[in-house]
Structure 1
Amino acid sequence: MKASNIIIALLACGITASVAYLAALKTGIIYKYPEPFYLSANDEAKRPVYQQLDSNEKAVYASLLKGMQKQEEEIPLPYEISGYMYEKLYCLLEKQESDMFFLDSSYYTADKFRKATVIYRKKDYDYGKEINSLSEVRKNVSDNLPQGDDYEKAMYIHDYIVNNCRYLEESDDTIYESTAYGCLVEGVANCEGYAKAFDLLASDAGLQSILVTGTTNDGKNHAWNQVNVNGNWYNIDVTWDDKEDGEIRWIYFLCDDDSFSRTHFKEVHYFTPFQCSENKDNFYVRSGLYAESAEQAKDIFLDKVEKGEKSVRLRFPDSYTYSDFKANYIDSQAIFGLIFSKDDTKTRNISISLTENVEEHCMTIELL
C-alpha cells in the first residue's frame, strides 16, 4: 500500500473514532470526567465548612455543587472516591448550601463513586418559579437590612424569620419543611428549615454562617446555626426563639458555648463546629440586661422601670444568682418596695407577671 493511502486510511480511522467518541458522549455510554477545579476565593470565604475540607474533597464538592445547582441527575466527578467521602460531601452540601431547597436529603450509596446520581425533591421538574419566589424574599430582606454592625444585621434576620414563619404542624402539606424555601416562601418549617433560612439570609448579608446539627437536652434531634458577628463566633437558635404569646424571644440569640451547651449538644461528624467563647454581643449582655448578682439585677430592674418600661428581661450567669434574686425580690414580694414606698396606695393597683426560663437562667418581669 502506498504511503499516501496509509495516511488516508489512518485519517479515516481517526475521524471514525472521533465520531464514535462524540456519539458515545452524547448517548451517555461514556462520560467525560471533569478536570479538578475549586471554588473561587470569594465563594470559599462564604463557606466556612468548605474551608475544612482537603484538596480532593474541595474539588469533588465543587463539581457536585456545580451540577446540583443545575439540577443535573448525573454528575461526573474528577476522581474516583469512596462511598464514605461521597456520603460526607453530599450531606454537607444538603445541609450547608441553603439555597438548594430542591435537593433531596436521601442519596444513593456504593463502595466507590466516579459519577453521582442525584435525587431531587421532584423528578424532571422546572424549579424556576420557586427559585424566583425565594430570590424575591432574599432581595427584600437584603434591601431592608439595617446599616449598622453585624449584630444589627443578625438581629434583623432573626426577627424577620420569627415574624414570617411558624413551626411545622402535622396537618401541614408541604415537601419543603426542612428548607429555606419552606421557611421564607411558604412560611412553614421545622428546625432545619429555620436554620437554613437564617444561614441563607446571613450569607446574603455578608455574615459567615453554618448550620449545626445535634441533639437537645431532651434527646431530640435538632438544628441551629453558628454565625460570625463582629469577628466572633456565636450560637443562635431561631426556632427556639420563635414567638411565645405573640412576642419574640432572644434567649438563644448569639450565645456562647457555656450557656448554649446546657441545652444543645453539637454533632461533630463531617466537620468541626466553631468554639464560641465570647458573649459581648449576646442579646442580654449588649442590651444591659445581664446581671452577675442579685443586687445588679435589682439595679437593672429599677432603671428600666424608672424609664417607663413595663416589661423587664433579665439573665443571670448561673442558677444560684437566678434563685437568689427570685427568692429575695420576687418570692418575698420585695420587688413592690423597689417601685413604690410601702405607704403608697398605688401598690394596691400593681401586680406582676413572671415568665421564667429556668434552664437558661432568664426571666421576664411584667408590670400589670
Structure 2
Amino acid sequence: MPAALKRSLCALCCCALLCLCTACSGLEGTVKEEPNTASPAAGNIPAADKPAASGIEIDPSAQSGDYDYNTINGDDAPQQGYYTPISLTHGFDALQTQPQQYFYKRLTSDVYTVAQQPNEGGNYLIEKIHLPGMYLKEEEIRLVIEAFSSDHPEVFWLDNLFGYTFDGTDMVIQMYSIISPETIDIYTDEINAVADSMIASVPKGLDEYERERFIHDNLLARCTYATDTKNIQQNWKPFTVYGALAEGSAVCEGYTKAIQYLLRFVGIESIPVNGTAKEQWHQWNLVKIDDCWYHLDATWNDSTDYIFYDYFNITDTIIQYDHRIASDFFALDPDDICGSVGKEAQLFNITLPSCTETAANFYIHEAVILYGFDEKASAAVENKMLQTALEKKQELYIQISNSIAYNEAVEGLFYQAPYQFFTYIDHTNSLLGGEYAISKENVRIIKKERLRIVEIRLEYI
C-alpha cells in the first residue's frame, strides 16, 4: 500500500481502478501515512555516554591545599503553584546501615559548601565529609552517592568523581563540583526562574495524570535533544536539570532529572531508571500515579515536530520491548559495581518498584477503542472525534481492538470500503454548525501496530 493515496470526490461513477474512490459513496478523502518516529529525539544518533563515577583512594596524609569555601544558597523550590511539593526519599529508604544513612545526610548539607578556587585538576572541592568511627566499602559509597543523586535532581553540579580514605578509625570522603559556588548560585537562579513559571502555569484542580501530562508536554515543548553532545566529559550541562530547563537542551539524563524535579513540585513522586536502549546507555523515569508505578521516557517521546506518547506510563513488559533495565545494586558483586582490572564499573538501579498497571497509560486515557464498523462501534469513534473537534485538537487516537485484525481495520478506515473514517468526518462536520470543519483532504496517520494504535493528525478548514 503506498504511503499516500489520493481519492477525488466525484459526482458521477468513475473507474475505481483509476480513481481509487468508493463507487458513488462520496466518502473518500486524502490520506497521508507518516512514519512512526516515536523515539526520534535520540533514536537516529548515538546516545550520549555517561560512565559510572570514578572512585579514587586518596592519601590521608596528603594536603588538599588551602581553599576558601562558600556556602551555596540552595533555595531550589519554586515559590508558586496550587499543589503541595513532596520530598523524594526512594534512594535514602533503600539504605540499610547507619553509616550509609549518615553519609547520605551529610551529603544533603555538605554539597552546598564548595571551594571558591579550583584544584590542579580543575575541579572545585566540596567540603570533606567525615564519618567518625565509621567505615564504608567503595561499593557502599557508590550506593549512597547514587541514592542521593536519585533523590536530588536539583543538585546538578556534582562531578562524576569521588575520593575516600580510612585511617583505621574514621573515614573521609571527598566530593567535587564541576563549577564554582558563584556559578552554582547563578545557574540555580536560572533554573528557579523557569520552574517558577512552569509550576505557576499548572492549572488548579488537575488530577495526578493530568499534572504529569502537563509537565511532560511543557518540558518537551521547551527542551530539545542535545544532538551534538557525545559524552559528559565534552559537555556536562545536557546531563542535568540545568541543561533541560535553563538552556533547553538535554540528553536523556537531563530530561529525566527535569521531569523528576518538576513533578516533585506538583506532588508526584518519580525515580530515575538506569538502563540501555539500542545497546547504549539510557535513562528514563518511573512515575507514581494514583499509587501505581509506570515507566515514562520523555526523551523518546520528544521529536522535532510532534510530542509522542508511546512511552507515557507503560508497564515493565512494554518498556522491555526496546529498553533494558540495569541490574539492581543488591544483585551485583562488588567488582561489577566498582570495576576491576579490565572491567568498567557498572551503572545500577536501587530496588525499583514493579510497573504492572495500565490505568494511567496515555492511550488508555486518550484513545477510543474500535471494535468494528457497526453502528455502536462507529458511534463511539464519532463521539470522540466530535469531542476532539470541539476543542480543535489536532490529534485523535484510535486503538484497534484485539477482536479485529489491525491491518484490516486500518484498510477499512482509510483505504477501501467502507472508508469508515471519512464517514466519521462527515457526521462530525454536520454537528459542528458550519463555523469550521475537519478537512478530508489532508488526513495524516501514523500506524503503530505493536501498540494497536492509529494516531491521526487532523486539519480544520
- The correspondence for 1:364, drawn from 431, 445, 455, is 455
Paired AA for residue 212 in structure 2:
A
Paired AA for residue 332 in structure 1:
Q
Paired AA for residue 410 in structure 2:
K
Q: Does 1:161 align with 2:252?
A: no
Q: Secondary structure at the match of 1:107?
A: strand
Greater per-residue helix proportion = 1
Higher mean C-alpha displacement, 157-166 vs 310-319: 310-319
Paired AA for residue 46 in structure 1:
L
Match of 2:312 in 1: 253
Match of 1:179 in 2: 240
CA contact (8 A) 2:300 2:311 kept: yes
After superposition, what is the alpha-carbon deviation per residue over 1:157-204, rounded to whole angstroms, capped at 9, x for unaligned? 101110111100217985311000110001100011000000011112
- The correspondence for 1:64, drawn from 107, 113, 133, is 107
After superposition, what is the alpha-carbon deviation per residue over 1:80-107, rounded to whole angstroms, capped at 9, x for unaligned? 1001101222233334420011112233
User: Which protein has the larger Cα radius of gyration, Structure 1 or Structure 2?
Assistant: 1
Match of 1:335 in 2: 420
Tell me how far apart the structure 1 counterparts of residues 215 and 137 of structure 2 sit (CA, whole Å).
39
Tell me how far apart the structure 1 counterparts of residues 403 and 237 of structure 2 sit (CA, whole Å).
39
Q: Does 1:272 align with 2:351?
A: yes
Report the CA distance shift for 1:74/1:44 in structure 2 as closer, same or farther (over 3 A). Answer: farther
Tell me how far apart the structure 2 counterparts of residues 305 and 206 of structure 1 sit (CA, whole Å).
32
CA contact (8 A) 2:92 2:148 kept: no
CA contact (8 A) 1:94 1:105 kept: no
**Cα deviation, residue 257, structure 1:** 2.5
Match of 1:74 in 2: 128
Match of 1:92 in 2: 147
Report the CA distance shift for 1:328/1:178 in structure 2 as closer, same or farther (over 3 A). Answer: same
Tell me how far apart the structure 1 counterparts of residues 152 and 251 of structure 2 sit (CA, whole Å).
17
Match of 2:191 in 1: 134
Tell me how far apart the structure 2 counterparts of residues 317 and 77 of structure 1 sit (CA, whole Å).
59
After superposition, what is the alpha-carbon deviation per residue over 1:276-328, rounded to whole angstroms, capped at 9, x for unaligned? 222222222122x1537456975544333445736421245779853342244
- Alpha-carbon RMSD across the aligned residues, in angstroms, is 3.7
Aligned residue runs from structure 1 range 23-38, under 5 A: none
Structure 1 residue ranges (4+ consecutive) displaced by more than 6 angstroms after TM superposition:
109-113, 317-320
Aligned residue runs from structure 1 range 92-241, under 5 A: 92-108=147-163, 114-122=171-179, 126-147=183-204, 148-170=206-228, 174-216=235-277, 218-241=278-301
**Cα deviation, residue 70, structure 1:** 3.0
Tell me how far apart the structure 2 counterparts of residues 300 and 266 of structure 1 sit (CA, whole Å).
38
**Cα deviation, residue 266, structure 1:** 1.7
After superposition, what is the alpha-carbon deviation per residue over 1:133-161, rounded to whole angstroms, capped at 9, x for unaligned? 11222222222222211112111110111
**Cα deviation, residue 250, structure 1:** 2.3
Identity over aligned pairs, percent: 22
Aligned residues between the structures: 325
CA contact (8 A) 1:191 1:239 kept: yes
Unpaired segments of 5 or more residues in structure 1?
A: 1-26, 30-41, 342-347
Q: Does 1:51 align with 2:111?
A: no
Q: Secondary structure at the match of 1:115?
A: strand
Q: Does 1:325 align with 2:380?
A: no
Tell me how far apart the structure 1 counterparts of residues 324 and 185 of structure 2 sit (CA, whole Å).
37
RCO comparison, higher one (Cα < 8 Å, 6+):
2
